[in-house]
Amino acid sequence: MVFAEKLIAWQQRHGRRGLPWQGTRDPYRIWLSEVMLQQTQVSAVIPYYERFLARFPTVEALAAASEDEVLRLWSGLGYYARGRNLHAAARQIAAQGFPKNANQIEALPGVGRSTAAAIAAFAFGERAAILDGNVKRVLARCFGLETEKALWQQAECLLPSRDIETYTQSLMDLGATVCVRGNPRCEACPVADQCIARRTGRTAELPAPRARKPLPQKAVTWLVLRQNGEILLEKRPAPGIWGGLWSFPEADEKDVGVCLQRLGCEMDSAQPLAPLEHGFTHFRLQIRPLLCDVTRKNLRVDEPGRLWLTLPAAAAAAIPTPVRTLLGRLAP
């Protein structure tokens, strides 16, 4: 029995069942799940996926929404460029229709080669090879491969002539539940007998781990401006960290006065709050919040990109996780 046949048979007996995006050919639902699953675990994605579908049951509904609303529902899922790209792609799809093959799907904002192949396989039954992180690990270990080019070539060669959806799902499930990064369950693997890494004792070496460098530290001061029970949030520019989300104004500690002047406020009192830390892929962010009770000199309607909100209204906005954490601390 060849590699693909073994995986298909294993999937039918041991694969994951009952995930909310399974059992459908709807390309919108499949695309939504694949985008959410990029760099995010299944357990974390499920509630977000269900909330998105409840609010945006069709791609047209998603396209008609504001970016603020999309990012509000995305808040907490991380990698916010995915949410912005999802919204942009929805508008493109609503105008032009859903693309019908992997090459066309890859042209959508935020969709790479492997994600496009997965969507095409599940929605249209296209024989397209996937190579996400879990699949790379399976193929690297089983066939002793170390380069991206060799892994893609192997992935293409292994494609079965039938049951492409089951085979694609089997690769994902095997990497996620059996051929895991640490302590793989080789005894449960359907292709353990042909695994080069297992036979040669190189399971821990393949795929070759990336050299980890110490993450640089960055520090910012957040101005938590409060007046009459309301706090000020600013919309962060996109692209950039938390682009399109609402956050507290940032300032250098030496320039707090200048920042307050820019925001049209005068400080009545200031109190440092307990610092927060937030990790990103390439650095760690140290956040020093400064709670400032202020008087607003400018009482005009909120300027674009700035909002004075009550704590409950702010918590319901499209905000990053550290902002939500800090709002929780401020709640009475």
**Residues acting as catalytic residues:** 34
Q: What are the residue ranges of helices labelled H in 214-315? A: 256-262, 311-315
Which tokens sit at 304?
Answer: 């674009």
The three-class DSSP label of residue 16 is coil
Backbone angles phi, psi at 225, to 5 degrees: -90, 130
The dihedral formed by the CA atoms of 77, 82, 88 and 94, expressed in degrees to the nearest 10: -70
Residues 196 and 174: their CA atoms lie apart, in Å, by: 16
Q: Cα 252–255–258 angle (5° rounding)?
A: 135
Separation of CA 192 from chain center: 32
Q: Which residues contact 259 (CB under 8 A, 6 or more apart)?
A: 223, 249, 251
Backbone angles phi, psi at 289, to 5 degrees: -80, 140
Residue 206 in contact with residue 212, Cβ under 8 Å? no
In our burial notation (b when 16+ CB lie closer than 10 A, e otherwise), range 9-48 reads ebbeeebeeeeebeeeeebbbbbbbbbbbbeeebeebeeb
- Classify residue 222 by its DSSP letter: E
Q: Using only the alpha carbons of the chain, give its radius of gyration.
A: 24
Q: How far apart are the first and last CA of the chain?
A: 64
